[in-house]
Every structure is written in C-alpha cells, then in structure tokens.
Amino acid sequence: MSRIKALLRKAIRLIISILTWPFRMTWRGMKAAGRFFKRCGIAIYRSPVAAYRKVIYYRDKLLKTVNYLQEESAKWRTAFTILKMPYSFLRMLGFSPQMAVSFLVAGSAVGGGVVVNETILSEKSFSAGDAGIYSAPLDTPVFAAEEFNTLRLDLGTTPVGEIVIENVTVGTAYANSTLPSGETNVVIVGGLPTVVDPAFTETFLEVGHLIIDRWRCTELHLTNIEAHVLNVEQNVSDGQSIAAIAGTPRPRAIGGGNRANSMYTDSGYYDQIKVISASSGVNGKVDVLRLSNIFSKGGDCVIDRVKAGTVDIILNEVGAGDGFATKDFTIATSVVYKTFNNNDNVEVSISPP
C-alpha cells in the first residue's frame, strides 16, 4: 500500500512538472535575459573608464620611452661635447675648420671622433654660428660641409623680424683662411644684379632699418641704395668719397603679419659672409638687419641693391694704407636719400687690417 502511494505521488509530480515546464522555461529565459541586459548595462557604464585606463597605460608607456630617449640623447650630446673640446679650442685660437681637423687627426688627439661629431651627429644652426647656406627664417642650413666655411643667409618671400650678425672675423683675417674660389669680396649685403645670369631677374633687399657699425674693412662700398633716412657718422677711412644724391625714397618698414622669428648669431670665423636676396625676381624682406663688429681682411665689403627706411653707417674703420687719393670708403651717386646726416667722417692714414 505504501508503495502504491509513493508511485502515485511520483506520478502526480511528473504530471505537474510536465504541465508547468513551459512556464518554468519562460521564467528561466526571462532571468537569463535579465542577467544579459544587466551585464550589458554594466559594461556600457564601465567602458569609458576601461578605455580611459587603457589610454593612460599607453600614454605612460610612450612618455616613459620618450624620457628614456631624451636622457640617452643628453648623455650622447655631453659625450660628444667633451670629444670636440680640442677642436673648439683650435677654432677659438683662429684656425680654420680644415686646419683644426687636420691637426687633431694628424696628432691623434681625438681620432676621427671630431670629424664624425662635427659633420654628422651634431646639428648645425645659424644661432650656433655654424657656416652654411641658410634659407631665412630656417635656423638649420640647407647646405653645410666642413670644406664650406661661408656664412650665407638667403632671404625670400618670408619677412623676418630681425637679423643680427655680430662679433665675427671674416676673410683672410685668421690663420690659414682663404676667400672662396672666384670671390673678391669678403662681406656682401643686398640684392643681386641681372647680369649674374641672363635668366635671373634683378633683386633688392628690403629693410626697415639697416645698421652697419664697427666694421673693419680694407674697402667699403655702398651702391644702388634707396634710403628714406641715411645716417653716415663717425667713420674713419684711408680716403673717402661720399657722393649720395637727394631724392624721394619713401619711409619703409617690414610687417607681413605673421612674420618669421628673429635670427641671431654671435662670434665665429668665416671665409665670407653673404646676406642676399638670392631668388630671381624675389626681394628679401627684413625689418631690422644689424651687422656689428665685423673684422675682415682679404677683400672688399659691399652693400648693394638695398631699399631701406633707415640706413646707419656708423663708427666703421676702412682703409688699405694706400693713401687718401685712393677712395677706400665710397658712397656712390646711385645711393639716393630723402634725409641725409653726414657727420664726423674723417680721413686718416690707416694700415691694412
């Protein structure tokens, strides 16, 4: 009897289970769906935080790498600075780059390390006083080589706020230096004539304020200049001819809105200095151009094809020791001014530099 009751209870439970199965499956599905949507919601809520944490991870990893490279770069720079000290010392004594390198290599003071550092691993720049051809306003040269010791600055369509070159020695004024092949002038400032190349259109250097002071030149010549104000004061020369003529040059300043930053270099030894408008038909533009304390030898100093608001020619010493009859300091009739201040310019006997 008890067995029959047990079998009957099992049968009843089975029947109830069969009858309620669809409802139970639906409820389980609903709970599963609920869990799914709950997890989706949590994932959506947490995803920005997870993404941000990943960004932070990769950012920190990148910065760690950058810091490591900067530290290594600083170490290498210090090492090569130490290696090039004998080279820099010889340059300071007045030797040309070629002679300095030859002394070091021949004497095995630093082996080839100086050559590698100065030509490949070091970064040449106008601000550091390195020779080369620079396209203003870029501070790094478009061309540089150890055998090329000219400081050349080409100005074009980009106006420059201020350019300063001061405290330099040029030409044959230091040991073992020579002028570049075919050149007779040690300092050249201005534009270029058409006769350079039949396909070349004449250029001028447009300047708001041109300052030439404390030059020592064998000869100094100014030609083809338009200046609203021309100041020629306190210059001494071994023979001079100042023949500028009156005209109507307009006031001039160089703006250009978002013009380039200023360029500055101090100290250096060069075979030649050029600040020119080198692109055919394109006048270079600079608001203030100051060339100060330039000691030169072996050729002439020439300022040619300049259009300026104000030109200052002040406290320069010019002469080749050839007597007053030879005019070493000249301002030609092609120099035209609106206002001219000609004060305290005297002729004295001056020996060559």
- What was the pLDDT predicted at 238? 92
More confident residue, 246 or 81: 246
pLDDT surpassing 90 at residue 329: yes
Mean pLDDT score, 184-195: 93
- What was the pLDDT predicted at 119? 41
pLDDT surpassing 60 at residue 283: yes
pLDDT bucket at 118, cuts 50 / 70 / 90: very low
More confident residue, 225 or 45: 225
Label each residue of the chain as H, E or C. CHHHHHHHHHHHHHHHHHHHHHHHHHHHHHHHHHHHHHHHHHHHHHHHHHHHHHHHHHHHHHHHHHHHHHHHHHHHHHHHHHHCHHHHHHHHCCCCHHHHHHHHHHHCCCCCHHHHHHHHHCCCCCCCCCCEEEECCCCCCCECECCECEEEEECCCCCEEEEEEEEEEEECCCCCCCCCCCCCEEEEEECCCHHHCCCCCCCCEEEEEEEEECCEECCEEEEEEEEEEEEEECCEECCEEECCEECCCCCCCCCCCCCECCEEEEEEEECEEEEECCCCCCCEEEEEEEEEEEEEECCEEEEEEEEEEEEEEECCEECCCCCCCCCCEEECCCEEEEEEEEECCEECCCCCC
Cis peptide before 159 (omega within 30 of 0): no
> pTM surpassing 0.75?
no
- What was the pLDDT predicted at 76? 72
pLDDT surpassing 70 at residue 170: yes
CA dist 100 and 93 (Å) reads 10
Q: Mean pLDDT for the chain?
A: 82
Write out the two tokens for 131: 């020779």
Contact, 291 vs 265, CB < 8 A? no
* pLDDT tens-digit map of 7-61: 667 766 777 666 666 666 666 666 666 676 666 666 666 666 666 677 777 788 8
- What was the pLDDT predicted at 11? 66
- What was the pLDDT predicted at 90? 57
